[in-house]
């Protein structure tokens, strides 16, 4: 991800892009925009308005008082392109570094399946080893005696070679099936552990808010979709604090301003009966948008505006992108460290 920064290296969250090429193309666009206006304040600050100076704009100094200023045509703000990961102000807040203990080794390795530092995997590996050792001892005890017994001339063995081969084939098939079932069960436990970690991560953002009941269902979504579910809900409803209710005053579990075909309220918002139903419907819609290429808040702004934001106040659009991006980048960038 890339973002514009001003001459003081301050990130401009309203301008975020998935590639450096897109950022360059948009920077050329605003610099060549004949409608653009730059306000130069008395204290040295500069602010760029892409579609001209809004009639509602208040030109004030940092002290809050009206001050002398100049209005220049075109883009006179010195924007630069910088990766989000290289900006301290845009990067997710770092957590305290944990010591090298068994609990956090899992998050420091590239693969949680094949690292011996993972306690769950180590215990499962120990369990499998114990079963294999027990099986070897059992076979040696029950079927190894025939080799040790002395051969007596004229004596016959009641067990035919055919029956032995048949038994051996049946045992090997059963043992192979048992191994496959055990491995699949182990993989399922590892997936459950990852999902539990993701639930804990999401709970840090929504704990104590109505959206807390949705955490188990959000954790089942792809990380990018989950990041949008949390980021948009914070902007649209403060995680469910301000959300539509049905005619009986019951919570509609719609924390994203979603307007779909589901049981709608008088104001046109979808009303869901359970948190699970809400995440299924809204997560599916966001998932389709992500699959179509909308992978960051500046592209997902169609959630607010529809096909075009030309009807909306540009300042409101920029603020929506910035507010949604706060939690989106914290959650979505975490997958690079997992």
Q: What is the pLDDT of residue 63?
A: 44
Q: How many domains does the chain have?
A: 2
Last residue of a domain, one of 56, 86, 116: 86
Q: Is residue 196 part of a domain?
A: no
Q: Which two tokens stand for residue 267?
A: 């104001």
Whether the Cβ atoms of residue 325 and residue 13 lie closer than 8 Å to each other: yes
Q: Is residue 316 part of a domain?
A: yes
Q: What is the pLDDT of residue 302?
A: 92
Whether the Cβ atoms of residue 81 and residue 24 lie closer than 8 Å to each other: yes
What SS3 class is residue 81?
A: strand
Q: Is residue 310 part of a domain?
A: yes
Q: Is residue 112 part of a domain?
A: no
Give, for all 338 residues of the chain, the pLDDT tens digit.
888 887 777 887 778 888 888 888 888 888 777 778 888 877 777 777 777 777 655 554 444 445 567 888 778 777 888 887 655 444 444 445 445 554 454 444 444 444 545 666 777 777 788 788 777 767 766 665 544 444 444 444 444 455 555 555 555 565 555 566 666 666 566 666 788 899 999 999 999 999 999 999 999 999 999 999 999 999 999 999 999 999 899 999 999 999 988 888 888 899 999 999 999 999 999 999 999 999 999 999 999 998 888 888 999 999 999 999 999 999 988 655 55
Q: Is residue 149 part of a domain?
A: no
Last residue of a domain, one of 23, 52, 86: 86
The radius of gyration of the chain's CA atoms, rounded to the nearest angstrom, is 31
Beta strand residue intervals within the chain, DSSP E: 2-5, 11-17, 37-41, 46-49, 69-73, 80-83
Cα–Cα distance, 323 to 321 (Å, whole number) = 6
Domain range for 321 is 210-336
Q: Is residue 119 part of a domain?
A: no
Q: Is residue 36 part of a domain?
A: yes
239 burial class (0-12, 13-18, 19+ CB within 10 angstroms)?
buried
215 burial class (0-12, 13-18, 19+ CB within 10 angstroms)?
buried
Q: Which two tokens stand for residue 47?
A: 């602010």
Q: Is residue 57 part of a domain?
A: yes
221 burial class (0-12, 13-18, 19+ CB within 10 angstroms)?
buried
Sheet (strand 11-17) strand order = 11-17, 2-5, 80-83
Last residue of a domain, one of 17, 51, 86: 86
CA atoms within 13 A on the CB side of 139: 11
Positive/negative CA dihedral, 290, 293, 299, 305: negative
């Amino acid at each position: 991800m890339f973002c514009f920064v001003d001459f003081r290296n301050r990130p401009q969250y309203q301008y975020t892009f998935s590639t450096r090429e897109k950022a360059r193309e948009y920077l050329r666009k605003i610099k060549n925009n004949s409608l653009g206006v730059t306000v130069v304040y008395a204290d040295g600050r500069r602010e760029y308005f892409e579609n001209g100076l809004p009639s509602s704009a208040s030109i004030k100094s940092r002290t809050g008082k009206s001050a002398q200023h100049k209005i220049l045509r075109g883009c006179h703000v010195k924007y630069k392109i910088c990766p989000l990961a290289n900006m301290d102000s845009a990067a997710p807040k770092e957590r305290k570094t944990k010591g090298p203990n068994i609990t956090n080794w899992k998050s420091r390795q590239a693969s949680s399946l094949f690292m011996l530092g993972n306690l769950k995997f180590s215990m499962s590996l120990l369990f499998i080893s114990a079963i294999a050792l027990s099986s070897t001892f059992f076979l040696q005890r029950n079927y190894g005696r025939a080799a040790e017994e002395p051969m007596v001339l004229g004596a016959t063995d009641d067990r035919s070679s055919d029956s032995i081969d048949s038994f051996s084939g049946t045992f090997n098939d059963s043992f192979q099936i048992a191994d496959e079932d055990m491995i699949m069960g182990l993989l399922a436990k590892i997936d459950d552990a990852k999902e539990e970690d993701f639930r804990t991560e999401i709970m840090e953002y929504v704990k104590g808010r109505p959206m807390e009941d949705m955490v188990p269902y959000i954790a089942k979504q792809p990380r990018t979709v989950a990041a949008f579910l949390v980021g948009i809900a914070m902007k649209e409803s403060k995680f469910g604090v301000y959300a539509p209710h049905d005619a009986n005053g019951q919570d509609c579990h719609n924390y994203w301003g979603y307007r779909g075909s589901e049981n709608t309220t008088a104001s046109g918002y979808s009303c869901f009966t359970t948190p699970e139903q809400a995440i299924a419907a809204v997560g599916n819609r966001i998932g389709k948008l992500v699959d179509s290429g909308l992978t960051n808040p500046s592209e997902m702004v169609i959630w607010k505006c529809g096909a075009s934001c030309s009807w909306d106040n540009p300042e409101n659009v920029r603020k929506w992108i910035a507010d949604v991006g706060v939690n989106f980048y914290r959650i979505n960038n975490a997958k690079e460290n997992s």
